[in-house]
Amino acid sequence: MLLLAIDTSANASTALLRSRGTVIEVLGSCTSERGNDHSEVLASAIESLLADASGQRPEAIAVGVGPGPFTGLRVGLATARTLGFAWDVPVHGVVSLDAIALEAAADNPETDFVVAIDARRKELYWARYSSSGLLMDGPHVSVAEELPALPVYGAGAGLYAERLVASGATVVAEFADAHPGAVALGTRALRALASGEALEGTEPLYLRESDAKVPAVMKGKLL
Amino acid sequence: MSLSAPLVLGIESSCDETGVGIVRGTELLVNAVASSMEEHVRFGGVIPEIASRAHLDAFVPTLSAALKEAGVSLAQIDAIAVTSGPGLSGALMVGVSAAKALALATGKPLYGINHLVAHVGVGVLDGGALPENLGALLVSGGHTEILQVNSLTSDVRLLGATIDDAAGEAYDKVARLLGLGYPGGPVIDALAKEGDPKAIRFPRGLTLPKFIGTAQEPGKHRHDFSFSGLKTAVARCVEQYQKRGEEVPVADIAASFQEAVVDVITAKAVRACTEHGLNNLLLGGGVAANSRLRELLAARCASAGITLRVPPRNLCTDNGAMVAALGSQLVSAGVAPTGLGFSTDSGQPVSLVSLLA
């Protein structure tokens, strides 16, 4: 199966992967490290991946559904959903943190572990995984102190290393600047599809409401 | 592709309307719009994050409905146009991302176009080619501008604009003050009919001689608008009644407020047209639905010898058909497409009718 993977929960990241049985081949990938240029670069990046693959049309799309900063996240979702509609191919949602968890599980952790990325506003998006990389709990959004006392993988660990250690967690140094990437996300999706595991829909995991407050005048306070 | 009547799909997501329209040349095939307006009612104004979330959910269903209603397949489309700005950044990005994906998947040329110029371009769908010596007055919840349209596809100039609130925004804020809910335009317009427009003399923004100057030596804000002082004046007025323990004359305030807005908009638009030799004026934007604005503008245009053109209401509010209409004119004029690499521009000037590749 030829699969296009997209994740914009942190950086704009896309990859084209092919699976034959259990063998997964990465045909190409592209990740922008700028973190604020998702809508600008994503479509061109996909276009060049497809051109390198002689214009073959993907048979499915996997997209990271977050959690992640809202505006960037929507760029990936709008792109994936629209490509799915135009190509008439299925679009599968994958929790973006799963991409880091897949790589973390390959590190053979001895216990359950946590994947955490920056949620801004001095908080982390995080989830707890089994040592084999199965999602056990989450994703959540909270301050660093609320994470379980377990090894923490991902850029969120690097960001709040001292506070995590102070509250009993450990920081996995090699993963301290890891962001969700489309290669791992696509790999995760292809493995799930091969084993018949159901994937998520493409509803974004915002985890926070908009900040809007109902103004006092709308509650009839003035008149 | 037919250069004289290209089949163009237009996408709009600059505020709270998700629009997908399809035109063939100057013929409107479909104008599908999904609005998140209901979700903003309790806040009394558009909340950008809520609008952006709604765009993501509404886009593919709106696109699908538009194609079905027009009986057109994506393969038949000649070009795609999308609003790249001005507008709410996060909202624009949803439409632009979707438009880029559509262009990528279909291999069709993509134009990133100007939302304000699209409000003018929509005129071709109602009465064909636009006249020469054309001015445009755009009045909505996000915009209040006077444009000079020398060429729809290559030469549009800004003559005047609001320096603070948009006129529609002033309506929303005053409606909130008066406890009339959201959106403010229709309810104030209706209530104003029961009130006395001369009951209270509210200020006309930027009409003092120091701002206006003369035709020969124009002041800095000769053709500009300001509505935030008017909104404050209404608030002070309401407070005075409350302080005295008197009932607030809501209908008189609504009528007097509306008269202040409409008086200054129409006077400035007609003066700008006259001084720039524009004997045609196109009215656009959501506030074009306002009965008093249409009435007074028609009267003042007639007195000044200006021919007024007002597209149907559903083409005046934000929609995808206007984006498609401008896109179609750009294709016909041989303007090069923008491609996939552009950014949204929340402050895109009217001089940028479409983004360069």
Chain B nearest CA to A53, separation (Å): 14
- Antiparallel, parallel or unpaired: β A12-20 and A23-32: antiparallel
B139 marked as binding residue: yes
Q: What angle do CA B129, B131, B135 make, to 5 degrees?
A: 120
Q: Inform me whether the pLDDT recorded for B174 exceeds 60.
A: yes
Q: How far apart are the first and last CA of chain B?
A: 21
CB distance A211–B49 less than 8 Å?
A: yes
Structural domains of chain B ordered from first start = 7-126+315-332 (3.30.420.40), 134-310 (3.30.420.40)
Instruction: Report how far residue B114's alpha carbon sits from residue A78's, in angstroms, rounded to the nearest whole number.
Output: 21
Any bridge partners for residue B12, and if so which?
A: B19
Which of B52, B68, B220, B224 lies closest to B144 in space, CA to CA? B224
Q: Which residue has the tokens 């998140």?
A: B36
Q: What is the mean pLDDT of chain B?
A: 96
pLDDT in tens, chain A (223 residues): 999 999 999 999 999 999 998 899 999 999 998 878 999 999 999 999 999 988 889 999 999 999 999 999 999 999 999 999 999 999 999 999 999 999 999 999 999 999 999 999 999 999 999 999 999 999 999 999 999 999 999 999 999 999 999 999 999 999 999 999 999 999 999 999 999 998 989 999 999 988 888 876 665 545 4
Give A30's contacts in chain B (Cβ within 8 Å).
none
Give the one of B42, B56, B63 whose C-beta lies nearest to A218's C-beta: B42
Sort B344 into a burial class: Cβ within 10 Å, 0-12 / 13-18 / 19+: buried
Who's near B196: CB < 8 A, 6+ residues apart?
B251, B252, B255, B256
Q: Inform me whether the pLDDT recorded for B324 exceeds 80.
A: yes
CB distance A81–B98 less than 8 Å?
A: yes
Give the one of B49, B93, B178 whose C-beta lies nearest to A212's C-beta: B49
Chain B nearest CA to A28, separation (Å): 17
Instruction: Report how far residue B355's alpha carbon sits from residue B344's, in angstroms, rounded to the nearest whole number.
Output: 10
Chain A nearest CA to B171, separation (Å): 14
B290 marked as binding residue: yes
- Look at residue A86 in the predicted model and tell me its pLDDT: 98
Instruction: Report how far residue A214's alpha carbon sits from residue B249's, in angstroms, rounded to the nearest whole number.
Output: 25
- Mean pLDDT in residue range B340-346: 96
- Look at residue A219 in the predicted model and tell me its pLDDT: 55
Which of B225, B222, B84, B211 lies closest to B143 in space, CA to CA? B225
Instruction: Report how far residue B154's alpha carbon sits from residue B121's, in angstroms, rounded to the nearest whole number.
Output: 12
- Mean pLDDT in residue range B55-79: 98
Domain assignments of chain A as residue spans, ordered by start: 2-96+180-195, 97-175
* Inter-chain Cβ pairs, chain A and chain B, closer than 8 A: 123
- SS3 assignment, position B152: coil
CB distance A217–B106 less than 8 Å?
A: no
B165 marked as binding residue: no
Would you say the CATH fold of A97-175 matches that of A2-96+180-195? yes
Q: Inform me whether the pLDDT recorded for B2 exceeds 90.
A: no
Strands (E), B110-216: 110-114, 134-139, 144-151, 155-161
Give B93's contacts in chain A (Cβ within 8 Å).
38-39, 71, 74-75, 78
Instruction: Report how far residue B351's alpha carbon sits from residue B149's, in angstroms, rounded to the nearest whole number.
Output: 10
CATH number assigned to the domain with residue range A2-96+180-195, chosen from the 4 options 3.40.640.10, 3.30.70.20, 3.30.300.100, 3.30.420.40 = 3.30.420.40
Give B77's contacts in chain A (Cβ within 8 Å).
none
The residue among A41, A56, A81, A121 with the most chain B CBs within 10 A of its CB, best to mutate, is: A81
* CATH number attached to the domain at A97-175: 3.30.420.40
Burial B230-263 (b: 16+ CB within 10 A, else e): bbebbbebbeeeeeeeeebbbbbbbbbbbbbbbb
The answer to whether A105 and A127 have CB atoms below 8 angstroms apart is: no
- Mean pLDDT in residue range B343-349: 96
Q: Phi and psi of B346, rounded to 5°?
A: -65, -20
Helix/strand number for chain A, H first, E second = 6, 10
Tens of pLDDT, residue by residue over A70-83, are: 999 999 999 999 99
ipTM for the predicted complex comes to 0.95
- SS3 assignment, position B18: strand
Instruction: Report how far residue A65's alpha carbon sits from residue A78's, in angstroms, rounded to the nearest whole number.
Output: 11
B114 marked as binding residue: no
- Tell whether A58 lies on the interface with B, counting CB pairs under 8 A: no
Percent of chain B with pLDDT over 70: 100
